[in-house]
Structures are given as C-alpha cells and as structure tokens.
Amino acid sequence: MVKTIGAREARNNFSQLLGQVHFGGQVVIVERFGRPMVAIIPVDDYRQLIAEREARFQVLDEIRHRLPDLSVEEVEQDVAEAIAAVRTADATRSS
C-alpha cells in the first residue's frame, strides 16, 4: 500500500517514517504543494529495481552488439519502409 504525505509532515516525523518504510515495508510518496516529489521505498525494493534495470540494459547491450553496423540513413530508410508497410496493411483492412 502506498502512503502519501506532505513534505512538512515527512520532515516532522522522519524517524517514524523511516521505521514504517524499513520495518513495515510501507512505500511513501512525499508531496510538496500537492505535487509528488520523491518516493521512499524499502532498500530491498530499491536493490531489486536496480538489479532488474541493469539486467534489462544488459539484454539491450547484447542485442545492440549483434546488430549490423548501419548508417543513420539506412536505419531511417528501414523505418520508413516499415511504417509504409503498416499503413498499407491498415488501409487494406479498412477498405
């Protein structure tokens, strides 16, 4: 469950807030003037998010290394052809 509090309340009750997050697994969004500014999450959740992010970027790096070296113009041409093919297929289905 996500709890939302104001910045002043977070500042005034910071120690209690840390306990709720660490021991209770609470996620807290701190707002300032009604706008979300930060999220306070348990450190285990943070570590998991970072590990997942790094794993996803590793997959992207592996894909990037397998791709042939193409110029920007070649990539733009491939994209334009793919878009044209999709639009043609959509127009055929709409008719």
Residue ranges per domain, the chain? 2-41, 46-94
Q: What is the mean pLDDT of residues 2-8?
A: 96
Rg for the chain, CA atoms, rounded: 23
pLDDT value of residue 91: 86
User: What is the model's pLDDT at position 90?
Assistant: 87
Residue 86 pLDDT greater than 80, yes or no = yes
pLDDT digits (tens, 9 = 90+) for 21-71: 999 999 999 999 999 999 999 999 999 999 999 999 999 999 888 888 888
Q: In what order do the strands lie in the sheet with 27-32?
A: 2-6, 27-32, 35-40
Q: Is the model's pLDDT at 10 over the cut of 90?
A: yes
> Are the beta carbons of 27 and 2 closer than 8 angstroms?
yes
The model's pTM:
0.63
CATH code linked to domain 2-41: 3.40.1620
The pLDDT assigned to 70 comes to 84
Alpha helices in the chain (DSSP H): 7-12, 14-24, 43-66, 72-94
